[in-house]
Amino acid sequence: MHRGDFGIENFNSSQGHIVYKYFQIEEFASPDDLTSGNMMDSLLLDKLDLARDICGFPLIINSGYRSIEHNKKVGGVANSSHLLGLAVDIHCTDSRKRFMLLDALLVAGFDRVGLADTYIHVDVDPEKKPCVIWTY
Ligand SMILES: [Zn+2]
């Protein structure tokens, strides 16, 4: 078992918090606060789990929740959805996987997508305009 694909045993975890089929909550933590993965929006993680199921390959989370300090450090915008636990950046550098991942994310119901050279950002921020795909 490797990072990005924690498999079915995580789904059966009985640790008393919400668990996901393919992800551990720690994968979404801000690096300066290792428990902050709990700040992630559960609707987002449900959709992400579904997208992972559809695309069929492991997803590496580059960035999930960000503290204000960490967001500044990585050059995030001041109103970043990462500050609210409403966004994830998924590692992706391969054109074929980018196609498959984008398709899976859209089928799973994401309607705010940012395409970068090395990752795909998705968020579920209700304060921002839906049905958009942008580039960096
Ligand atoms: Zn992002």
DSSP code string of 20-71: -SS--GGGGSBTTBTTGGGGS-HHHHHHHHHHHHHH-S---EEE----HHHH
Residue 72, in any domain of the structure: yes
What is the number of residues in the chain?
A: 136
How much distance in Å is there from the Cα of 97 to the middle of ligand 1?
Answer: 18
How much distance in Å is there from the Cα of 12 to the middle of ligand 1?
Answer: 29
Residue 124, in any domain of the structure: yes
For the chain, give the mean pLDDT. 90
Strands in 87-91's sheet, in edge-to-edge order, are: 61-63, 87-91, 119-123, 112-115, 132-135
Does position 118 have pLDDT exceeding 60, yes or no? yes
Residue 122, in any domain of the structure: yes
Residue 3, in any domain of the structure: no
How much distance in Å is there from the Cα of 92 to the middle of ligand 1?
Answer: 13
As residues whose CB is below 5 A from the ion ligand 1, the structure lists 87, 89, 121
Predicted TM-score (pTM) of this structure: 0.87
Q: Which domain holds residue 88?
A: 8-135
Using CA atoms, how far apart are residues 72 and 65, in angstroms rounded to an integer? 13
Residue 1, in any domain of the structure: no
How much distance in Å is there from the Cα of 14 to the middle of ligand 1?
Answer: 30
Residue 2, in any domain of the structure: no
Does position 84 have pLDDT exceeding 80, yes or no? yes
- What CATH code is carried by the domain that includes residue 54? 3.30.1380.10
How much distance in Å is there from the Cα of 15 to the middle of ligand 1?
Answer: 29
C-alpha closest to that of 17 among 41, 38, 40: 38
Q: What is the pLDDT of residues 52-67, one digit of tens each?
A: 999 999 999 999 999 9
Does position 72 have pLDDT exceeding 50, yes or no? yes
In the chain, the number of structural domains is 1
Residue 84, in any domain of the structure: yes
Residue 89, in any domain of the structure: yes
Residue 12: per-residue pLDDT: 43
